A and B are shown apart, each in its own frame.
Chain A
Amino acid sequence: MDLRFTPEEQAFRKEVREWVAANLPRDIKEKVDRGIELTCDDFSRWMRILSERGWIATNWPKEAGGPGLNIAQKYILEEEIFLGGAPRTVHFGTRMVGPVLLRYGTEEQKKKYLPKILTSEEIWCQGYSEPGAGSDLASLKTSAVRDGDHYVVNGTKIWTSYAHCADRMFALVRTSVEPKKQDGITVLLIDLKLPGLTVRPIITIDGRHHFNQEFFDNVRVPVEDRVGEEGQGWAIAKYLLGHERSNGSGVSMIKWRATKLREMASKERADGERLENEPAFRRKIAELESDLRALELTSLRVLASASADKPIGPEASVLKFRMACMQQAVTELMMEAGAYYAHPLDREALRGQSNAEQVGPDYQFRMAPEYFQMRGTSIAGGSNEIQKNIIAKRVLGL
């Protein structure tokens, strides 16, 4: 057992840090720093920069175009990217489509889609949830009916993050109604520009545009864009879950936010002193940091015990759950730090669409909007309740 990183790993850290400092565009860094909404173009720009360096598909094997990093390096890379102030990427292409195609895709599909994911030319979104199918995903209803060389798709998907920035959707659809509802589900890769498909923006409570709803009205999807067999969709989704959960980047995001919180607490004043010296607030920061350390170590433990042939098991639910809690805790403290200045919220300014005079400190959008937005982390990708159900059942045997 040894907690230290090797000299090579430390050198790698330095390399990444310097690279981020040199390559992250100023304007994007500032938006992230201030909590201003990023445009689709901002995301795409940053993803292309990562692509050029070969650091976009960190979870892919080297043969497939991944950078071939070991677990420690991957951890360091993600951490340095976030601590350097970079935004999250729209990662459905690398996190979902890539692993799925590598495992289940035809040669033609791989040739058609993987290169553009690696170059970030094409952005993907995830079409799982529907109005009637959330936690109970298997009850999804968007239908795909075979008609010659095509599937005719009808129905709706909802809560689709960044669909408005995306070119394509990785979708779960129903191709047949089976006694066991899991059995009738199929994966389709859907071009969002196809006729009959409309994307409706949904504004979230923080005032940003993150979500969308898509309506499918006789959308014709070529059969060659089906992944795997008809009815294999559920198995593919389950295979992916393992991938999605082994994502450790949550911790680095929280760490970065914790540094922002400290900055705010040193700038805000309470009774003429720095807020960070106010006993109750100081204690809350200390509690947060100790929780964060516990989460980081647990996350390292889980990552270290996993390997290529032994993917992370349901323990990942513990991480997912705790990460959601911590994201929420750190953003709540930022809001508390703001006191009255958590109130002002000019949505146009938040979305970078206003030149009106700034109200309050320049980190003002880090207060209420971030807090509101992070309420979603305990709902998205399997709610806290669902994670606990999984732990109860699969870890504790209840």
Chain B
Amino acid sequence: MDFEYSDDQSLLKDSVDRFIQNNYGFEQRRKLVATDEGYSDKNWSQFAELGWLGMPFPEQYGGFGGTPVETMIVMEAFGTGLVAEPYLPTVVLGGGAILHGGSEEQKQAILPAVAEGKLKLALAFAERQSRYNLADVETSAKKDGGSYVLNGMKGVVFGAPSADKIIVVARTSGQSRDADGISLFLVDKDAQGLRVRGYPTADGLRAGEVYLDNVKVGADALVGEEGKGLPLLEKVIDHGIAAISAEAVGAMKALNDMTLEYLKTREQFGQPIGRFQVLQHRMVDMFIAHEEAKSMAMMAAMRVDEADETERKKAMSAAKVQIGKSARYVGQQGIQLHGGIGMTDEYAAGHYFKRLTMIDRSFGDTDFHLKRFADL
């Protein structure tokens, strides 16, 4: 039982922290997310150079061979800077799907390109009606000789506008919400019949609606086994949960630091507002919320590779519930303790609040995971 970082992990942490410090000031980020693309190619190349884009991939695919703990370290630092580059969709979700379910050819073709920063991915799993139920898939993939024809719509696909390839979750058989019959397909973004309606999200990132109108793909586009995609998808999303939990922890830390500083410097009634006991206790509760979230994010990183599927899911749900509770509290109170300035777009606190809010709306909210935790 050991929660300490190895020397290499400490070095990694220092390097990501330094990057955030130098490249992700609040004003820099604000300019970045206001651009059309919403992120910086220059940053992306730097991620590649520093080895972060190949972090979880084995060395034979140009990766770094990192464990989920390394991903946690990167994501936590990204949370402190509210990094806008599509790391989660490309490396954790898209890359994760190929890594955990792809064929040898797919791994060879995709992972090194991702690690080098030449290829961006997205994972299209949600649909308009699905909420957080991963089996609620209506998009269809019909076999047509040696190929498949995809029809339907995928909703709120993170990173879709920037992706070169999209991994589409579609139904090859069965009824909506059946566990069987779900398959994953690797589709070119410029495939005929595929259209992305991109848009910014409430937290300043980018996502899109992906419309599929008779999109034809070859059998080699299938990721994993036909009809057996759900366990793979669940696994990838659980990795997403571990990663986003770490990101939330970083964002909470940043918001807490900012709020604490504000309590010490903002004066009303002739004294720093941090002298008022209600605000002190509130700040302590925020501190606790962050520490508790951190404990669970660490747990998530250490258990997401767990072989026992039920244990893994239960652990990820427990983590996500805590993240949801903590993120909500820290976010809301972070605004409250700042007063009017907390409500303004020009000030950083609101942006942390919004990212934290949206993290609870990603991969299942608190209620969803509490239910999954209770049911398992």
Interface residues on A, range: 35 or more
Number of inter-chain CB pairs below 8 Å:
146
Let me know if B108 is at the binding interface, CB within 8 A.
no
Task: Known A135-B268, A272-B177, A372-B202; judge A340-B156 contact (CB<8 A).
Answer: yes
| Contact bitstring A134-162, B, C-beta under 8 A = 1, else 0 | 11100100000000000000000011000
For window 158-203 of B, CB contacts with A under 8 Å fall at 176-177, 197, 199-203
Q: For B357, list chain A residues within 8 Å (CB).
A: 335, 342, 368, 371-372
B325 nearest CB across to chain A (Å): 13
B361 and A342 form a contact (CB under 8 A): yes
B268 nearest CB across to chain A (Å): 4
Let me know if A360 is at the binding interface, CB within 8 A.
yes
The answer, among B126, B136, B340, for a CB contact under 8 Å with A272, is B136
Q: For B279, list chain A residues within 8 Å (CB).
A: 385
B155 and A341 form a contact (CB under 8 A): yes
For window 243-287 of A, CB contacts with B under 8 Å fall at 268-272, 275, 280-281
Bound Cα distance from A341 to B199, whole angstroms = 12
Q: For A205, list chain B residues within 8 Å (CB).
A: 335, 342-345, 350-351, 353-354
Q: For B344, list chain A residues within 8 Å (CB).
A: 202-205, 211
With most chain B CB atoms within 10 A of its CB, the pick from A158, A344, A383 is A344
The answer, among A271, A280, A339, A388, for a CB contact under 8 Å with B361, is A339
Task: Known A204-B343, A272-B176, A357-B197; judge A136-B269 contact (CB<8 A).
Answer: yes
Bound Cα distance from A133 to B340, whole angstroms = 11
| Contact bitstring B356-376, A, C-beta under 8 A = 1, else 0 | 011001100101001100000
Q: For B353, list chain A residues within 8 Å (CB).
A: 205, 372, 375
Which of B36-44, B127-135, B291-299, B310-318 is the interface stretch?
B127-135
| Contact bitstring B252-282, A, C-beta under 8 A = 1, else 0 | 0000000000000001111000001011000
Q: For B128, list chain A residues within 8 Å (CB).
A: 341, 360
Let me know if B106 is at the binding interface, CB within 8 A.
no
B199 and A385 form a contact (CB under 8 A): no
Let me know if B88 is at the binding interface, CB within 8 A.
no
Q: Which residue of A lies closest to B129 (CB)?
A: A269
Task: Known A135-B269, A342-B361; judge A379-B343 contact (CB<8 A).
Answer: yes
B136 and A360 form a contact (CB under 8 A): no
With most chain A CB atoms within 10 A of its CB, the pick from B199, B279, B353, B362 is B199
Q: For B156, list chain A residues within 8 Å (CB).
A: 340-341, 343-344
Let me know if B49 is at the binding interface, CB within 8 A.
no
Task: Known A203-B346, A384-B336; judge A336-B365 contact (CB<8 A).
Answer: yes
Bound Cα distance from A342 to B340, whole angstroms = 24
Let me know if B207 is at the binding interface, CB within 8 A.
yes
Bound Cα distance from A368 to B353, whole angstroms = 12
Q: Which residue of A lies closest to B367 (CB)?
A: A280
Bound Cα distance from A94 to B335, whole angstroms = 30
Q: For B367, list chain A residues within 8 Å (CB).
A: 280-281, 336
Let me know if A101 is at the binding interface, CB within 8 A.
no
| Contact bitstring B322-352, A, C-beta under 8 A = 1, else 0 | 0000000000100110011011111000110
- The prevalent SS among residues of B at the interface is mixed
Let me know if B209 is at the binding interface, CB within 8 A.
yes
Q: For B362, list chain A residues within 8 Å (CB).
A: 340, 343
B131 and A383 form a contact (CB under 8 A): no
B280 nearest CB across to chain A (Å): 12
A129 and B345 form a contact (CB under 8 A): no
The answer, among B133, B197, B340, for a CB contact under 8 Å with A271, is B133
A343 and B358 form a contact (CB under 8 A): yes
Let me know if A347 is at the binding interface, CB within 8 A.
yes
Bound Cα distance from A386 to B64, whole angstroms = 53
A378 and B177 form a contact (CB under 8 A): no
A143 nearest CB across to chain B (Å): 19
Q: Which residue of B lies closest to A203 (CB)?
A: B345
For window 361-391 of A, CB contacts with B under 8 Å fall at 368-369, 371-372, 375-376, 378-380, 383-385, 388
A347 and B200 form a contact (CB under 8 A): yes
A266 nearest CB across to chain B (Å): 14
B202 and A135 form a contact (CB under 8 A): no
Q: For A202, list chain B residues within 8 Å (CB).
A: 344-346
Let me know if A359 is at the binding interface, CB within 8 A.
yes
B202 and A375 form a contact (CB under 8 A): no
A135 and B339 form a contact (CB under 8 A): yes
Q: For A378, list chain B residues within 8 Å (CB).
A: 336
- The prevalent SS among residues of A at the interface is mixed
A338 and B361 form a contact (CB under 8 A): yes
A139 and B336 form a contact (CB under 8 A): no
Bound Cα distance from A205 to B131, whole angstroms = 25
Let me know if A345 is at the binding interface, CB within 8 A.
yes
Let me know if A346 is at the binding interface, CB within 8 A.
yes
A185 nearest CB across to chain B (Å): 16
Let me know if A207 is at the binding interface, CB within 8 A.
yes
With most chain A CB atoms within 10 A of its CB, the pick from B332, B357, B370 is B357
Bound Cα distance from A268 to B130, whole angstroms = 9
Bound Cα distance from A373 to B343, whole angstroms = 8
B167 nearest CB across to chain A (Å): 17
B339 and A383 form a contact (CB under 8 A): yes
A367 nearest CB across to chain B (Å): 8
Q: For B203, list chain A residues within 8 Å (CB).
A: 343
The answer, among B177, B197, B202, B343, for a CB contact under 8 Å with A342, is B202
Bound Cα distance from A317 to B358, whole angstroms = 32
Q: For B371, list chain A residues within 8 Å (CB).
A: 280
Bound Cα distance from A339 to B370, whole angstroms = 15
Q: Which residue of A lies closest to B371 (CB)?
A: A280
Bound Cα distance from A371 to B353, whole angstroms = 11
B83 nearest CB across to chain A (Å): 17
Q: For A336, list chain B residues within 8 Å (CB).
A: 361, 365, 367
For window 110-136 of A, CB contacts with B under 8 Å fall at 129, 132-136
| Contact bitstring A181-219, B, C-beta under 8 A = 1, else 0 | 000000000000000000000111101000100000000
Task: Known A345-B200, A360-B128, A385-B276; judge A159-B350 contact (CB<8 A).
Answer: no
A373 nearest CB across to chain B (Å): 8
Q: Which residue of A lies closest to B271 (CB)?
A: A136
The answer, among A133, A343, A347, A375, for a CB contact under 8 Å with B336, is A375
A343 and B340 form a contact (CB under 8 A): no
Bound Cα distance from A338 to B155, whole angstroms = 12
Could you list 5 examples of A-B contacts with CB < 8 Å? Answer: A135-B268, A280-B367, A336-B361, A369-B202, A379-B336
Residues on B lying within 8 angstroms of A by beta carbon are 126, 128-133, 136, 155-156, 176-177, 197, 199-203, 207, 209, 267-270, 276, 278-279, 332, 335-336, 339-340, 342-346, 350-351, 353-354, 357-358, 361-362, 365, 367, 370-371
The 5 A-B residue pairs with the shortest CB-CB distance, nearest first, are A205-B350, A136-B268, A340-B156, A368-B202, A345-B202
Residues on A lying within 8 angstroms of B by beta carbon are 129, 132-136, 139, 158-159, 202-205, 207, 211, 268-272, 275, 280-281, 335-336, 338-347, 356-357, 359-360, 368-369, 371-372, 375-376, 378-380, 383-385, 388
